[in-house]
Amino acid sequence: MTDPILANAPLGHDAPYPTAYDPTVLFPIARQNNRQTLALQPLPDWHGADIWNAYELSWLNTRGKPVVATGCFVFSQASPCIIESKSFKLYLNSFNESRYESVESVQRHMEHDLSHAAGAPVDVRLNPLTIGHTENYRPLSGINIDGIDVGIDRYTPAPELLRCVPGATAVSEVLMSDLLKSNCPVTGQPDWGSLQIRYRGPQIDRAALLKYIISLRHHNEFHEHCVERMYCDIWQACRPAELHVYARYTRRGGLDINPWRASVAANVDNRRTVRQ
């Protein structure tokens, strides 16, 4: 059953595309509603952000000529709200037939509107294609655990699978998997992603971690919420001294979403993976 909070969201419903700039289509969703369901209460004093990359941006210059661009939008995990993704797409497309004197003018509008909707400052960076792009793809760094031969029989979140290696000493390592999949809580459509776990503490059982990651396969939750759930489950089960959880999801509707949460401040590489 769809969360009643989402009953009026554009996602999962027919919604006309705006024919002119319209910030009112943005649909905020309070983070706190989902955070109340997480294993760790009270929530940890974590760091993090949700990095959105947009590949279908356009507007008109003052003479009516189209400008095309890509964009990066960074929402702090401390913002009270996330933005429902279809409403974000509708909002970005509301710029298509509107005229602006400069990239900076469009960026100022977006920073104002998104910050107002999220309840905290949002960093916006727009890159017209005329400036050139030299970005290369690369996988998330870390030891890929996908080759571990495990039997799988759990496809809903099973944090009880998580464990440390018995008698494990403290290690510092980075693990990654490309087998992350969850589903949209409104439409049920699959969300595919890659996951990076960076931690310092008792060594995590890699087979158990892989089985846990795959256990989200039938789970219905937004990207940001999935990352927070995984962070809390790993912290609760393995008690690391430091933990960093970073997911990069494949795009839908010209947008990809890449949340990260960490126990310490970090600089995160926003370089795309092969599937992005």
Establish whether 83 is an annotated binding residue. yes
Separation between Cα atoms, residue 53 and residue 257, nearest integer Å: 7
Q: Which residues are catalytic?
A: 184, 191
Give, to the nearest 10 degrees, the angle between helix 206-214 and helix 223-238.
150
pTM for this predicted structure: 0.94
The residues, any chain, with a CB within 8 Å of residue 216's CB and separated by 6 or more, are 156, 157, 180, 181, 182, 226, 230
Structure tokens that stand for 90 in this block: 């509708």
pLDDT score for 136: 80
One pLDDT digit (tens) per residue for the chain, 276 residues: 445 565 666 655 567 889 999 999 999 999 999 999 999 999 999 999 999 999 999 999 999 999 999 999 999 999 999 999 999 999 999 999 999 999 999 999 999 999 999 999 999 999 988 766 667 889 999 999 999 999 999 999 999 999 999 998 999 999 999 999 999 999 999 999 999 999 999 999 999 999 999 999 999 999 999 999 999 999 999 999 999 999 999 999 999 999 999 999 999 999 999 999
Establish whether 84 is an annotated binding residue. yes
Separation between Cα atoms, residue 199 and residue 170, nearest integer Å: 10
Q: Are the C-beta atoms of 229 and 212 separated by less than 8 Å? A: no
Can you list the domains of the chain with their CATH numbers?
7-128 (3.30.1130.10), 143-262 (3.30.1130.10)
Establish whether 101 is an annotated binding residue. no
Q: How many helices and strands in the chain, by DSSP H and E?
A: 5, 10
Establish whether 224 is an annotated binding residue. yes
Establish whether 253 is an annotated binding residue. yes
pLDDT score for 209: 98
What amino acid occupies position 166? P
Largest CA distance in the chain: 69
The residues, any chain, with a CB within 8 Å of residue 40's CB and separated by 6 or more, are 232, 235, 236
pLDDT score for 111: 98
> β-pairing, 170-183 with 143-144?
parallel
